Structure 1
Amino acid sequence: MAVRGPKVRLWRWRRNPLKRRSDTVEAWVLLGTWLLTALAGVTAGLAAGRSVDAGLARERVEWTAVRGVLAERAPGGTGRETADSREQVWGTVHWTSPDGVRATGQVRVAPGAAAGTPVTVWTDPAGHLVSEPATPAEARFRAAAVGGLVGLSAAAVPFVAGRLLCVRLRRHGLDRWDTEWARFDPLSDHSTG
């Protein structure tokens, strides 16, 4: 069983006759790793979050609600649905785009809705059918989620690279200890452990 003394914080930065050059290099690598990890994560996360938020804001401005009508009776409609039922089915809808072109598409409607029922559809500037744009609260949530995931992914790169470099430095340091110990005590055989 190994006996350990009290943990000394920042030992790599203190003067110590037993401190090796590799300990100092490892300290700088660790410091650089943490700084790069934080910088990469925050920068990438903020950039991705702002990009998503700007894209969703642009959709709210550019996409328009257009009044359409259901072309035929929607499938379903067992009579058990209530006015606030969340269940919806695909139905064919006709609408006139802002530039006057009549269009047809599939949207989600209440089951069993009658032909001619008014339906709100959303179109982009080209008149193509799109989903309803995200509300400002939904946009903030999506931007935060995407920013967080991108930030964690970006932070993982320098973190993993730094950890791998530290492992190599430790192995190199242990090899040097073995070499120096063998010079100091040539009669002992350390390979049999």
Structure 2
Amino acid sequence: MSTKVRLWRWRRNPLKRRSDVTEAWVVLAAGVLVAVGAPAVGAATAIGVEDATLSASQNWHTASAVLTQDAAAESTVYGGSDSGKVRASVRWTASGGTAHTGKALVKPGTDSGARTTIWLDEHGALKDPPATPAEATAQGIFFGSVAAGGVGLLVLGGRWAVRLRLDRRRAGEWENEWAEVGPKWGHRTA
């Protein structure tokens, strides 16, 4: 049920109901939350994700490893993910002198026995290369946009639910009033 007169709920009107005023405040609050809250949540999420992505690899270090098998000639991952690199088995020696093996990203077509640089976390576990600042920024923008959109949808969904409840209440009030007044119509009083 929409009206052609804008802002009528804020004007003085003898026919204005309390539910109309409530709906006007809900619309105003939803507008403010979508206009201010969603971008604020999106920006905070983007900054948080970017910082977390960059700080996750702060304690990582590089090590030298030897390929134990030939690397595939080309990436089998659809879309060329992993920056055009392929996974291959490598062997490295930890700082304590123990030998470890694992799969690391290397250039396609690298021969067995070739040296490559790998990334290890603070516990000595093999990791993929850390995200670059540009990749961290892209992740932040993506997750920030998703968060802002989610907040916007949540607020608009809440506004819709409140309006639906108010409309049902108004319909119930209308039905009760009609049940009281309707039977009196058509009867003439002298």
TM-score, normalising length: structure 1 = 0.75
CA distance in 2, matches of 1:139, 1:75: 28
CA distance in 1, matches of 2:133, 2:30: 36
1:138-157 correspondence runs (5 A): 138-157=135-154
Structure 1 residue 24: deviation in Å?
Answer: 0.8
Match of 1:130 in 2: 127
Name the aligned partner's letter for residue 95 of structure 1.
W
Match of 1:9 in 2: 6
Q: Which runs of 5+ in 1 are unaligned?
A: 78-85
Is 2:154 the partner of 1:173? no
Structure 1 residue 40: deviation in Å?
Answer: 4.8
Structure 1 residue 47: deviation in Å?
Answer: 3.4
Is 2:38 the partner of 1:41? yes
Name the aligned partner's letter for residue 146 of structure 2.
L
Structure 1 residue 173: deviation in Å?
Answer: 1.4
Match of 1:19 in 2: 16
Is 2:103 the partner of 1:103? no
Aligned 8 A contact 2:105 2:128 in 1: no
CA offset digits 1:97-136 (Å, max 9, x no partner): 4565432211233444222212121111111111111111
CA offset digits 1:11-54 (Å, max 9, x no partner): 11011122222111111122223334455534433332222111
Alignment identity in percent?
A: 36
Aligned 8 A contact 2:62 2:117 in 1: yes
- Alpha-carbon distance change, 134 to 39 in structure 1, aligned in 2, over 3 angstroms: same
Is 2:72 the partner of 1:72? no
DSSP-derived class of the 1:62 partner: coil
Name the aligned partner's letter for residue 70 of structure 1.
L
CA distance in 1, matches of 2:50, 2:85: 28
Match of 2:26 in 1: 29
Aligned 8 A contact 1:30 1:166 in 2: no
CA distance in 1, matches of 2:24, 2:138: 38
RMSD (Å) for aligned C-alpha atoms: 2.9
- Alpha-carbon distance change, 35 to 171 in structure 1, aligned in 2, over 3 angstroms: same
- Alpha-carbon distance change, 158 to 59 in structure 1, aligned in 2, over 3 angstroms: same
